[in-house]
């Protein structure tokens, strides 16, 4: 698989399950031991210096988040591992949970120690029964081996971890919706502030991090911040797991250092488009991400550069559409997804998506006009500008980017442009043909 450097953070081996024995044999849990012996302050420094950022999508500095929980006067604190990987086209967390579960457990335990949490939950989506089964077993095993539970490594640090199953809601990937979900409510987002680090689960300070973020921690502690930073770029340290799918030769999960370009990822790892085809668009970051035209694929995978180019790295899903695909069909698919997953709390997301969906259906059926494209643009603006939560705002990303880069495809669907010179309806001709 191309030019992977030898030692990264995850070192993916697709068909290998790393058992606890194997994990311990290859140096697993040395990082936890090191943290406990050198103390939380020093270890936290390491995380902060590593510039590790949240890998769930928001890219918030991970060390800073731990520090915020740690600094809270309230001593009952929680840690939650967000394993509600619902972003379509993303399967990185699933891989971590089903292949290297102990690297994740160790990461969670270290983060718990650093933030001062003694109780934790892994919130795993219900659609991942296999991952749930593996994690439950792994937690039990870790408890038996004294890697979880009371007085870990005789350090006096106790930490209990439980699995919490989601029940089918994309929105619960949003951290405050996830909290509501654990508390037995609908998975609707809460007002921020207060942020979970101040008032999270049951109003206690809570550290919530994505699976990939937490699974990075053991390696950072073990090998040091400067090693970690050396993997990436000045702006974005470390590596990123990328879920590659769509119209390419080779689909799958890869780990890449930050700084590599999207074109390199698609061509070197994904083998490029299928024979005789060209890339039309690349969806980056899942349903909440954007549609990127081929011209922008030389952008490096880097937070700053991507932000400047209007690309959301998000969960790291890369989904390729070749020239046989219709942009509108793809946008419609995304919209149906959001229609089903919107929590329905706020007007712009609920009603905006409802109307956007109606317009898109009309466009695809050849029953819409140019005015409808303008209305769609306006509604998209309201969804992005005024939705309650980040996911609502992101629901407009696919729409916005497709309206920006592929407006001609929208216009081509409009009634005004479907009429041939003779006044016949092209759509009708296609159907009869």
Partner 1 sequence: MMSSTIVQDIIHQHGGDKALLLQVLLAVQDADPQKYLSEESVNEIARILEIPRSRVYSTASFYSEISLQPRGIYLIRVCTNAPCENAGKALVLQAIEKELGIGAGQTTSDGIFTVECVNCLGACYMSPAIKVNDVIYGDLTPEKAVKIIAELRKEYQDGQNTSGSCI
Partner 2 sequence: MNKMKIFVNGQEVWIEKDSTVLNAVKQQGIDLPTLCHHPDQRVKANCRVCVVEVEGVKNLVASCSTKVAEGMRITTNSPRVRETVRTILELIFADHPHECLTCIRNGNCELRQLASKYGVRDIEGEKANNIFPQDKSTPSLVRNPNKCIKCGRCAEVCHHTQNVGILYSHNRGTEVCIAPEYGKQLAEVACVLCGQCALVCPVGAIHEKDDTDLVWEALANPHKHVVVQTAPAVRVSIAEEFGLPPGEISTGKLVTALRKLGFDQVFDTDFTADLTIMEEGHELLQRMQTGKNLPLLTSCSPGWINYIEQYYPGLLPLVSTCKSPQQMFGALAKTYYAQSSGIEPKNIFVVSVMPCTAKKYEAARPEMNSSGFRDVDAVLTSRELGRMLRQEGMDFQKLTESEFDAPLGISSGAAAIFGATGGVMEAALRTVYEVVTGESLCKLEFSEVRGMEGIKEASVELDGKEIKVAVAHGLDKAKKVMELIQSGKADYSFVEIMCCPGGCIGGGGQPYGTTNEVRAKRIEALYQVDENMPVRKSHENPAVQDLYRDFLKEPLGELSHQLLHTEYRNRGLSIN
DSSP string, 224-254: -HHHHHHHS-SSS-SEEEEEEEESBS--EEE
Residue 367 CB, nearest approach to partner 2 (Å): 11
Binding residue (CB under 8 A) for partner 2 from 25, 186, 249, 274: 186
**Of 106 and 341, which CB lies nearer to partner 1 in the complex structure?**
341
Using the structure block, give the residue that is written with the tokens 């073990």: 222
Q: Does 127 bind partner 2 (CB under 8 A)?
A: no
Q: Does 223 bind partner 2 (CB under 8 A)?
A: no
SS3 for 182?
Answer: helix
**Of 88 and 200, which CB lies nearer to partner 1 in the complex structure?**
88
Q: Tell me which of partner 1, partner 2, none is bound by residue 94, counting a contact when its beta carbon lies within the kind-specific cut-off of 5 to 8 angstroms.
A: partner 1
d(C-alpha 110, C-alpha 301), whole Å: 28
Binding site for partner 1 (CB under 8 A): 85-91, 93-94, 126-130, 164-170, 181-187, 243-247, 251-253, 283, 287, 317, 319, 321, 325, 329-330, 333-334, 336-337, 340-341, 343
Residue 20 CB, nearest approach to partner 1 (Å): 23
For the range 362-369, what are the long-range contacts, defined as Cβ-Cβ under 8 Å and sequence gap of 24 or more? 363/328, 363/410, 363/413, 363/414, 364/328, 364/329, 364/332, 364/413, 366/413, 366/415, 366/418, 366/425, 366/427, 367/415, 368/413, 368/414, 368/415, 369/414, 369/415, 369/416
Residues 327-366 that bind partner 2 (CB under 8 A): 338-348, 350-355, 358
Rounding to the nearest 10 degrees, give the CA dihedral for residues 8, 14, 20, 25. -50
91: closest CA among 210, 239, 241?
A: 241
Residue 385 CB, nearest approach to partner 1 (Å): 25
**Of 142 and 318, which CB lies nearer to partner 1 in the complex structure?**
318
Q: Does 184 bind partner 2 (CB under 8 A)?
A: no
Q: Residue 61 has what DSSP assignment?
A: B
Residue 186 CB, nearest approach to partner 2 (Å): 7
Length of the chain: 433
Residues of the shown chain interacting with partner 2 in the complex, contacts defined by CB under 8 A: 169, 171, 186, 191, 193, 338-348, 350-355, 358, 371-372, 375, 378-379, 381-382, 384-388, 393
């Amino acid at each position: 698989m191309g030019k992977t450097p030898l030692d990264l953070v995850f070192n993916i081996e697709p068909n290998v399950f790393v058992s606890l024995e194997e994990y311990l044999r290859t140096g697993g849990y040395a990082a936890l031991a090191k943290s406990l012996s050198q103390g939380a302050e020093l270890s936290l420094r390491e995380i902060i210096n590593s510039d590790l950022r949240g890998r769930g999508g928001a890219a918030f500095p991970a060390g800073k988040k731990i520090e915020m929980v740690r600094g809270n006067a309230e001593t009952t604190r929680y840690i939650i591992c967000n394993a509600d990987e619902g972003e379509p086209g993303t399967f990185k967390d699933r891989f971590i949970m089903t292949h290297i579960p102990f690297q994740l457990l160790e990461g969670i335990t270290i983060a718990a120690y650093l933030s001062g949490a003694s109780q934790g939950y892994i919130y795993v989506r219900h659609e991942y029964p296999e991952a749930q089964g593996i994690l439950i077993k792994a937690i039990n095993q870790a408890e038996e081996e004294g890697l979880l539970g009371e007085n870990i490594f005789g350090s006096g640090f106790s930490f209990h971890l439980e699995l919490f199953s989601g029940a089918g809601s994309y929105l619960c990937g949003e951290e405050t919706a996830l909290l509501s979900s654990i508390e037995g409510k609908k998975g609707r987002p809460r007002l921020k502030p207060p942020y979970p680090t101040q008032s999270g689960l049951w109003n206690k300070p809570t550290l919530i991090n994505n699976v990939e973020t937490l699974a990075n921690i053991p390696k950072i502690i073990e090998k040091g911040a400067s090693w970690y930073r050396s993997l990436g770029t000045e702006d974005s340290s470390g590596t990123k797991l990328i879920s590659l799918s769509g119209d390419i030769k080779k689909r799958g999960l890869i780990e890449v250092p930050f700084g590599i370009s999207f074109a390199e990822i698609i061509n070197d790892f994904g083998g490029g488009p299928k024979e005789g085809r060209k890339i039309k668009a690349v969806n980056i970051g899942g349903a909440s991400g954007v549609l990127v035209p081929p011209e922008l694929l030389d952008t490096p995978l880097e937070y700053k550069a991507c932000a400047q180019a209007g690309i959301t790295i998000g969960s790291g899903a890369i989904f390729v559409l070749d020239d046989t695909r219709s942009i509108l069909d793809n946008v419609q698919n995304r919209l149906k997804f959001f229609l089903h997953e919107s929590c329905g709390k706020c007007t712009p997301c609920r009603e905006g998506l409802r109307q956007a969906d109606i317009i898109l259906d009309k466009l695809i059926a050849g029953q819409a006009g140019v005015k409808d494209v303008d209305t769609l643009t306006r509604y998209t603006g309201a969804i992005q500008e005024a939705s309650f939560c980040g996911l609502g705002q992101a629901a407009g990303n696919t729409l916005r980017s497709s309206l920006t880069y592929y407006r001609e495809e929208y216009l081509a669907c409009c009634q005004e442009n479907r009429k041939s010179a003779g006044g016949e309806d092209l759509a009708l001709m296609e159907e009869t043909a």
